[in-house]
């Protein structure tokens, strides 16, 4: 057979290709050894882990997360956080639900909660995400007024916590699964703040917290005693700005809260 026969040329090409592949693999390996791990999201997560080994990120590509695994991981990470600073780092590294893709930054608890009362908002919106506070803008200002003028406390002595830490796209309501996946972070904030009474703001927040129908009128005006701190649902300050007549009912709920806490003025 002539050296220029097609089968012979093909065999020679195959051998050359194999040699080239081997050469490239060897060079690629040496290059990788010199450069270390690739730079990208994985490296970022790795550096969070090495800087803070006690709280690791919950990480999986979109569509490949197993919600049960993600919840277990969040529970483990939240339980490992020994203080609020560690907990905040864990939340910032969390990728357990798809809200991590649209959020700019998660919100975190505000106030030291030393009075025992913790106000709850369902999820951050645009103003909350921009400020980093669980409640911001005119509704946040109105809540401060209720605390200062009604409860005779400083906002710093109360706490404000979000059930879901990352802003849902276009400010839609968070899904039940998002609330559940985020619940270990939320619960651990309450533990570390030593919350003695919870005041969920608005029917959707109270309903999600208590696992009940989110109709506020059927929930407010009384103290719920589930496992954990007692719960006194009331109107969201956003509703009070739209419907000032609801302020009287809100004040009743706040007085109930003050009585439970043993604060003067509670009835």
Q: Which residues bind ligand SF4 (CB under 6 A)?
A: 91, 94-97, 99-100, 106, 164-166, 178, 181-182, 185
H helix intervals, the chain: 6-35, 41-51, 67-80, 84-93, 99-102, 126-131, 137-145, 176-193, 203-210, 216-219, 237-242, 247-261
Minimum CB separation from ligand SF4 for residue 178, in Å?
6
Residue placing its CB nearer to ligand SF4 in the complex, 142 or 182: 182
Residue placing its CB nearer to ligand SF4 in the complex, 138 or 169: 169
Residue placing its CB nearer to ligand SF4 in the complex, 97 or 258: 97
**Is residue 199 within 8 Å of 118, Cβ to Cβ?**
yes
Give the separation between CA 223 and CA 196, rounded to whole angstroms.
Answer: 13
Minimum CB separation from ligand SF4 for residue 26, in Å?
41
Q: Which tokens belong to 266? A: 């509670």
Residue placing its CB nearer to ligand SF4 in the complex, 107 or 258: 107
Minimum CB separation from ligand SF4 for residue 126, in Å?
16
Residue placing its CB nearer to ligand SF4 in the complex, 178 or 239: 178
- Residues 160/200/265/140 CA torsion (nearest 10 deg): 50
Give the separation between CA 239 and CA 237, rounded to whole angstroms.
Answer: 5
Strand 197-200 relative to strand 159-162, pairing: unpaired
């Amino acid at each position: 057979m002539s050296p220029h026969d097609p089968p012979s040329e093909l065999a020679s090409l195959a051998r050359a290709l194999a040699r080239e592949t081997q050469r490239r693999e060897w060079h690629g390996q040496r290059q990788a050894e010199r450069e270390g791990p690739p730079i990208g999201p994985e490296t970022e997560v790795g550096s969070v882990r090495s800087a803070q080994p006690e709280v690791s990120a919950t990480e999986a590509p979109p569509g490949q997360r197993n919600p049960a695994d993600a919840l277990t991981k969040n529970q483990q990470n939240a339980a490992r956080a020994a203080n609020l600073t560690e907990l905040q780092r864990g939340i910032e590294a969390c990728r357990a639900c798809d809200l991590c893709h649209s959020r700019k930054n998660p919100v975190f608890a505000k106030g030291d909660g030393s009075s025992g009362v913790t106000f709850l908002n369902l999820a951050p919106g645009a103003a909350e995400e921009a400020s980093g506070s669980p409640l911001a803008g005119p509704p946040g200002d109105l809540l401060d007024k209720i605390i200062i003028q009604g409860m005779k406390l400083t906002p710093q002595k109360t706490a404000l916590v979000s059930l879901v830490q990352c802003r849902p796209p276009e400010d839609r309501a968070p899904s039940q699964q998002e609330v559940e996946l985020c619940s270990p972070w939320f619960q651990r904030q309450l533990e570390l703040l030593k919350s003695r009474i919870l005041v969920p703001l608005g029917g959707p927040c109270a309903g999600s917290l208590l696992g009940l129908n989110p109709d506020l009128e059927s929930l407010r005006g009384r103290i719920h005693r589930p496992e954990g701190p007692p719960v006194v649902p009331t109107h969201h300050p956003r509703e009070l700005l739209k419907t000032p007549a609801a302020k009287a009912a809100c004040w009743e709920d706040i007085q109930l809260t003050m009585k439970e806490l043993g604060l003067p003025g509670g009835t």
